[in-house]
Structure 1
């Protein structure tokens, strides 16, 4: 929707005429896609929440500066990108290193499903590819310095022209193009080699069967069976706990040292986050008389084997809409 059409629809000649409830209703249309944009920039669901709130606050304060030279959506994306860059400069002056991003948090599918479909009339509209919301992609992005990261997301995910990105960042088009090439090279260093084979779209029967077997073996703490489902170079991490384990032997040894085989009375609930298969595990707590949240494993599956496991703590369960407890019979 063009700026003139938007203002006409609202019955005003400029955004400055809107009261706060009217302006909030207008910006609220774009909340989810802006949140996902900030999430890509920051890797943290909660930091993205803060960035979106700051975006709307800045937009309200600057509403009279909207001149209609771009769409309203693009104007909000400019503000959101700058809010993310400011947050990164304040809280994370250095990008991630070593192949892991310790501040990484999962994103619930039920919220991703709120994203609008791409609109050919809105070049700033988010055409979300599954590969750009998967956790491995998010980890790779967090290894880029903030400005190249912004360039990559604006150019390759949102499809912005180089001149628009240059204007947003106060750089030349040549600088933006150079930053994009560096960012793409950096991504290649940290993305899985088989990126083109990532799980996408609807899960096939083979993937569902593998997740089922993984779930059953995990509940039984059957490490031997789980090991047969892992690729030789499988990776496992548990943000925000430091440590990235690479290779089947290293991953399994870490589980053994952490006492996985000694766990008893586990239950599991199937889940999906970042458009990837996941399993939420619950552990029986006698004192509570119920199964309480333990961890959630998010899987990357390639070629019929598990190639990466992200393990998140129980504090993520509420955000993901998972049950707070399971009764003794294991039902929700």
Structure 2
């Protein structure tokens, strides 16, 4: 009798335990389906997502920072941006006259033939005052000098025209050095024109509208026009002041020289030629004769073909450039250069 009771009791407790397990499982299922519990899980999942997103953003930011640094480096290495940096440097339009210049200082100048005499005079004056320095000058034209300056082949460009916006954008700065005049000249033995010309006649001759001396008050004879190459600053200025910005003519009687040099131009004048050059270069030439324009000689204050001369440097200037420009623009330097004469 006792054994059945024990077996019955054990079965009862086993059933109770099984029921408890089922109840527990059901409770878990109910909890999992309970909106409150689901909300908790959602919040946990949302937190995990936010954490993942934050980590992703940090990684993306790090990548962006690295990319930005790389881009900055590329921009810094880009020649155009280096030029912009140069342009943004403070621009100096005046320089102090140096009291001393280190021996071994070398300066290279190239540019307008109109400034050849000025360059040579300043070269002698600078080297004499500051022993152990060297100034090398050449004169292949304003355009050539500017290109050489941009390419870092020279320290200073000597030019007889204003800078273009594109040249200024590359960090070039022009320092006024004075003014001169462009003279119109004929060969010394030219018998076709004995008097001067009007400014309108000059424009017509160099544009090819007039090709006989008889059309401008001279005797009958063809006009040989000698033109300077476009690289010449004198060419550009004469085009502006004498032709009103119009192009030179292309008629058969007009010849453009391949190089910007005045000596060859004078030799080519012959008996019937006409040309133009900076006045200081031709005023004492025995092979050429300067003719008045509108009754005015190049020395007259109201002569129509006046123009300014400049030294151009690339910003920021080197110590050597500062020293030379400080000397060149000082009263002593201007006297040596004969800029104002």
Fold shared, TM-score > 0.5 on shorter chain:
no
Which is higher, the Rg of structure 1 or of structure 2? Answer: 2
TM-score (norm 2): 0.25
TM-score (normalised: structure 1): 0.26
